[in-house]
Amino acid sequence: MLEFFYEEKSIYFVDDYHLVSYLLLNFLKFLKQEELEESALPPILKTELEKDNEDLEYLKQLFRKTILHSQEWEQIIGNATSNWELERIAVMDMIILKMALTELVEFNSIPVKVTLNEYIDISKYFSTAKSKVFVNGILDKLIVDFKAQGRIKKTGRGLME
């Protein structure tokens, strides 16, 4: 049984089992029948054969920088969620928040509002029903704090406030 296998890997999986099942079913529902017959998964990024693959480069940078700042972001999120124990925050919400903070601080050409909207949308599709409100609240609070500290520095036309 798959459920018991993953429960042995993480005691929290029992809480996430139904969420994972729901997300997997939603993902499969969106796939077209032809895509299922022709390949294991639909393409997510531009092909790697393209010389200027901005999507892949962005993804690599976001992943690397999120991992590098992971502990720092976790501490900041913990301070912003004083009413919550970190262990009680859904794993997917924590990942979404860490990625959003990385994008806010490290990617100077992406507007703050775009980052906020994108990660709230991501939480709608890939986390719990109440996650969008939680992610929105935490990011709103942290954006104000980061701006006050001068951590968010946007450059480019139309990005500076």
pLDDT digits (tens, 9 = 90+) for 136-158: 999 999 999 999 999 998 876 55
Are 9 and 16 within 8 A, CB to CB?
A: no
pLDDT interval class at 67 (50, 70, 90): very high
68 and 38 belong to one structural domain: no
End-to-end alpha carbon distance in the chain: 54
52 and 15 belong to one structural domain: no
Residues contacting residue 12 through CB under 8 Å, at least 6 positions apart: 91
Residues composing the chain? 161
97 and 146 belong to one structural domain: yes
110 and 93 belong to one structural domain: yes
Per-residue pLDDT reduced to its tens digit, 81-139: 988 788 888 889 999 999 999 999 999 999 999 999 999 999 988 888 889 999 999 99
Q: How far apart are CA 111 and CA 108, in angstroms?
A: 8
Q: On the CB side of 5, how many CA atoms lie within 13 Å of its CA?
A: 2
**Whole-model pTM above 0.85?**
no
Q: To the nearest whole percent, how much of the chain has pLDDT over 70?
A: 70
Q: What CATH number corresponds to the domain at position 118? A: 1.10.940.10
7 and 75 belong to one structural domain: no
35 and 111 belong to one structural domain: no
Please tell me what DSSP assigns to residue 154.
-
29 and 95 belong to one structural domain: no
Residue with token string 């500076």: 160
69 and 100 belong to one structural domain: yes
82 and 29 belong to one structural domain: no
Which residue segment(s) compose the domain that 145 sits in? 45-161
140 and 154 belong to one structural domain: yes
Q: How far is CA 46 from CA 42, 43, 62, in A?
A: 11, 7, 17
